[in-house]
Amino acid sequence: APTRAVTLATRTALDPAELPLSLRQLLGRCAIRQAPPGRGGGSGEQQGGAAELDEVSGTVMRLPTPDGGVITVDRPHLPFTPAEFARARALVELDGRLGPRLPVSEDLLTVPGAGHFTVRRAGPGDLEAAKALHTRCSAQTLRRRYHGPVGDADRYLRHLLSPNFGRTLVVETTRGHVVGLGHLLWDGDETEVALLVEDAWQRRGIGGELLYRLVRMAAEAGCGAVYAVTQASNTGMLAAMRGLELPLEYQVEEGTLVITARVEPVPAVLPQGGAAFDEGRADGS
């Protein structure tokens, strides 16, 4: 319907992180994956090669992005129609024409005993601030967050901060130092949440506040569940997930713990006067 197409185009225009969600609303239940430039069969300088990837075959749709990447949409059991392909391609082209952009929104966060912070959306422009946060985190905190060699932590940031793969929130001090990062990542037809809080600011409710906001964003996006990958020893993340007071499922594989929260509608307005969780309930690492 024309009205629905306009609504999806408007959402995509206002926020690039909405593109996967708009595609999912347009096409129904499907898995959406985006390959970055160099892995999708083209590059920004090889638009002819990328254009060849612009195709639909049965239940799989491939849509090149202006930077040379490729969005692959897989919808089992129901082939795509030419009309769906045209509308999906129009959304991707609109997103590419508008270029990098982020919604401008800042919220004041008051944490008892820690003062005032700003919570806002983050993007590629926050790369250096995120790297600086890494330097202030202990090796244990970085290992808990990235589940790999500490020296590789910076390599993940460019991907994590890209609105093409999800949404990121940062917590800043009044001096502009980033002390917390929260990610909501579109993972096929699933949604991952991930947190990192500087050691000096852990166990003050910042991780819990970030998680609450990320889950609220997931609920508003129509996600039925979110999952976090952590270790059983990460008591801060466990406490933060339990603090959501949502149904949880636990799965343990070779020392890795995956916690899935079934998402329910959350309040449209955050509680006033402090963090959503009491101090000491979550360290967010």
- The number of distinct structural domains making up the chain is 2
Co-location of 75 and 128 in the same domain: no
Domain-embedded: residue 282: no
Which residues, given as ranges, of the chain have pLDDT below 70? 1, 38-54, 188-189, 265-285
Domain-embedded: residue 53: yes
pLDDT at 271: 36
> Under 8 Å CB-to-CB from 106, ≥6 apart: which residues?
118, 119, 120
CATH no. for residue 145? 3.40.630.30
Record the pTM.
0.73
Co-location of 45 and 146 in the same domain: no
Last residue of a domain, one of 98, 124, 157: 98
Co-location of 71 and 110 in the same domain: no
Cβ–Cβ under 8 Å, residues 238 and 259: yes
pLDDT per residue over 175-198, tens digit each?
989 999 999 998 766 899 999 999
Domain that holds residue 77: 2-98
Co-location of 148 and 206 in the same domain: yes
Spatial CA neighbour of 266 closest among 198, 196, 214 = 214
Co-location of 6 and 64 in the same domain: yes
pLDDT at 261: 94
Domain-embedded: residue 204: yes
Co-location of 90 and 147 in the same domain: no
Co-location of 171 and 53 in the same domain: no
Spatial CA neighbour of 222 closest among 3, 24, 2, 16 = 24
Co-location of 144 and 214 in the same domain: yes
pLDDT at 188: 66
Dihedral sign for Cα atoms in the order 199, 205, 211, 213: negative
Domain-embedded: residue 284: no
Co-location of 60 and 139 in the same domain: no
Query: What is the rounded (10 degree) CA torsion for 116, 265, 267, 283?
Result: -20
Co-location of 192 and 148 in the same domain: yes
- 3-state SS of 39-85 is CCCCCCCCHHHHHCCCEEECCEEEEECCCCCEEEEECCCCCCCHHHH
DSSP string, 137-153: S-HHHHHHHHSS-GGGG
Co-location of 93 and 116 in the same domain: no
pLDDT per residue over 130-139, tens digit each?
999 999 999 9
Helix (H) or strand (E) holding 226: strand 225-230
